[in-house]
Structure 1
Amino acid sequence: MSSVLRICFRPGLAVLAGLLLMLTTTSRVQAQDAPAPAETTATAEAPAPAAEEAPAPAAPPTAEEVLGKLTVGIDTIWVLVCSMLVFFMNLGFGCVESGFCRAKNCVNILSKNFVVFAVCSIGFWLVGWDLMFGTGDGEFIGKSGSFMVQAKDNSPLQATKGYEGEYSSIAWATVPLWCKFFFQLCFAGTAATIVSGAVAERIKYGAFIAFCFVMAVAIYPVTGHWIWGFGYLAKEWNFWDFAGSTVVHSVGGWAALTGAIILGPRIGKFSKDGRINAIPGHNMTAAFIGCLVLWFGWFGFNP
C-alpha cells in the first residue's frame, strides 16, 4: 500500500514544485522590470513671456493723397477709353477701303487692316517707343531708355515724389507707363493704316507688312520724337502738334502719297489714249459704316 502511494504522489509533487518555481521566477522578473519611482524635484516655474505691444494704428491718408490717387485713376481710365476709340478706327478703315474696292480684293484689304496693328505692336514695342520718347532734347532721336519699354518710370508717383525715369519728355502725363504706351501704339497703327487705302489693290501683301514694321520702328517714332519727344522741331522751332495732325495724319498721308507715286495707278484705271476709267466700289453700305466709325473714333485723338 505504501509503495502504491509513493508512486501516485511523486508525479504530483514534481508538478507542484515546478509551479512554485515558475511563480517565483516570474515575480522576480517583474520586480526587476518595474520602473523606479520618479524623483520629484521642485523646479521654479519660468516666468511667462511679456505680451508684445500692439503696433500703433496707421495714420489715415490725407485728403491730398486720396485726391492724388483718384486723379491718377480717372486719368488712366480716360486715356484707355480714348485709346480704344482710336483702335476702333481700324474697323472704319477696313470698311471704307473694302467698300470702295472691287469684290475680288475685299479679303486682301480686310486682312491688311487686321494684321497692320499686330505688326505695328511688335515693332513699336521692340524699338519704336524708346526712339520716340527716350530723353534727347533737341535731338534727332531719343537716346535714353532701352529695348522693349524696359526703362524706369514712376509716372503715377511723380506728383508726390518727383519724376524718376528715362522718358522725361512724356513725364507730364501721370498715368502708368503701359497706359501711355498703348495710347501711342494706337496712333502708330493708325499712321500705318492710312497708307493701306492709298495703295489698295496694287501692293503685294508681304511688301505692305514689311512697310508697316518700318513705319512702327523708324518713321513714326523718329518724327514723333521731333515733336512730342521734345526733339529737334519742338526745341528749335517751338513746333506744336494738335490731335496728331502732323505726327499721325501728316506722316501717314505723306507715306501714302509716296507709296501711290511709286506703285502708280491701278491696272485698268487709264486707257492707252489717257482716258480715265471708273472703277466703282462693290459695297457702299460698308463704306458708309466705315465713314461713321472713323468719325466717331476720331474723338479719341483729343483726350
Structure 2
Amino acid sequence: MFVEIGKNLVKFKGLEVLSTRSLIRRSQRQNRKVNWKICLPFAALIGVFWVYAAGAQDSLSPAEMITDLKVGLDTLWVVVAAFLVFFMNAGFALVESGFCRRKNAVNVLAKNLIVFAIATIAYWLIGFAFMFGDGNGFIGLNGFLLSGADNSPATGDAYQGVFSALNWTGIPLQAKFLFQLMFAGTTATIVSGAVAERIKFSAFLLFSFLIVGISYGITGHWIWGSGWLAKMGFWDFAGSTAVHSVGGWAALVGAGVLGSRVGRYDANGTVRALPGHNMTSATL
C-alpha cells in the first residue's frame, strides 16, 4: 500500500516504511551490481589483449619500437584530420538546409547524409584505384576494391605495391583511404548546395556515384596520383583544384542544366524572393 505524505510517496511493507527516494537508491544499487557483472568479462578480455600486446612489444628492438610509435602517432593524426574534414559536410548540411524553404529541408539534409554513403562505395570500388593506382599519366589502372599488393606503412624505395603515388606517407593503407575519402565525399557535397531544391533525390545519388567514382578519381590522378599535371610541376596542397574546382565546375554545369528553382519566377517573368527558413542553421 502507498500513502502520499507531502512530496514523498511512502510504501508500507510490514513495519518498514520506504520513501520514494529510498526505493530509487535501492534500485540504483541493484543496477550497479548487474552492470559490474556485465563489465567483468569485457574487462578480462581487454586485459588479455593488453598482456598480449605488451608481450609482443618485449620482442621488439628499441629502433623498431620507435618506428611503431611513429607510425601509430602519424596514423592517429591522419584519422583526426580526416574527421575534421568530414565535419565540413555537416557545415554544408546546415547552410543548405538553412537557406532552403522549409518544405525541402528534410530532402536537403537527407542528400547530405546519404551522399557520403554513396561516395564511400564509389570511391572504394573504383575511385581510389583511378586516383592513386599505378597506371599511366591519365588514369590509374590498379587497386580496385582497395586490393592488390601493398606493404604500407613502408615508404620510398622500400614500398612495394600498386599505390606508388602514396609511397611518401608512412601510414597503413586503410588510413590513406579514409583520409582521401573525406575529400572525395566533399566534392559531391559541394554540388549539393548548387542544385538544392532543383534535382530529384535519386538523380543526385546517381550523380554522386559518377563524380566520386569517375570524374574526381581521374582528375585527382592528374594532380595527386603522379599524373600528367604532376609531372609538369603542378602542385595542389589542400584541394583547391582537385576538390573545390572539380566540385565547383560540376555545380555550375548542374545549375545551368537544371535551371532555376520552381517558383523563382511568376507568369510575367518577375523574380520572386525565396528566403531561407532558418538563418541560425545557415549561420552555424
User: Per-residue displacement from partner, 1:161-188 (whole Å, max 9, x unpaired)?
Assistant: 8111110001111110010001111111
- Contact 1:112 1:196 survives alignment (8 Å): yes
Residue 92 of structure 1 and its aligned partner are, at CA, apart by 1.1
- Alignment RMSD: 1.8
In structure 1, the partner of 2:44 is none
Q: Percent of aligned pairs with the same residue?
A: 56
Matches within 5 A, 1:129-278: 129-137=128-136, 139-145=137-143, 147-158=144-155, 162-235=158-231, 237-278=232-273
Structure showing greater relative contact order (alpha-carbon pairs closer than 8 Å, 6 or more residues apart)? 1
Q: Which runs of 5+ in 2 are unaligned?
A: 1-56
Structure with more of its chain in strand, by fraction = 2
User: Considering only CA atoms, is the larger Rg found in Structure 1 or Structure 2?
Assistant: 1
CA–CA separation in structure 2 for the residues paired with 1:178 and 1:196: 27
Equivalent pairs, count: 228
CA–CA separation in structure 2 for the residues paired with 1:211 and 1:60: 51
Matches within 5 A, 1:69-148: 69-137=68-136, 139-145=137-143, 147-148=144-145
TM-score, scaled to structure 1: 0.72
- Contact 1:136 1:230 survives alignment (8 Å): no
In structure 2, the partner of 1:284 is 279
What is the identity, as a one-letter code, of the residue corresponding to 2:146? Answer: V
Residue 59 of structure 1 and its aligned partner are, at CA, apart by 9.0
CA–CA separation in structure 2 for the residues paired with 1:158 and 1:243: 21
What is the identity, as a one-letter code, of the residue corresponding to 2:154? Answer: L
In structure 2, the partner of 1:29 is none
SS at match of 2:109: helix
In structure 1, the partner of 2:40 is none
User: Per-residue displacement from partner, 1:4-36 (whole Å, max 9, x unpaired)?
Assistant: xxxxxxxxxxxxxxxxxxxxxxxxxxxxxxxxx
- Contact 1:154 1:164 survives alignment (8 Å): yes
Residue 136 of structure 1 and its aligned partner are, at CA, apart by 2.8
Residues 274/171 of structure 1: CA separation in 2 closer, same or farther (3 Å cut)? same
CA–CA separation in structure 2 for the residues paired with 1:226 and 1:255: 17
TM-score, scaled to structure 2: 0.76
Residue 143 of structure 1 and its aligned partner are, at CA, apart by 2.2
CA–CA separation in structure 1 for the residues paired with 2:91 and 2:58: 52
CA–CA separation in structure 1 for the residues paired with 2:264 and 2:197: 11
SS at match of 1:114: helix
Residue 80 of structure 1 and its aligned partner are, at CA, apart by 0.2
What is the identity, as a one-letter code, of the residue corresponding to 1:246? Answer: T
What is the identity, as a one-letter code, of the residue corresponding to 2:139? Answer: I
- Contact 1:154 1:165 survives alignment (8 Å): yes
In structure 2, the partner of 1:53 is none
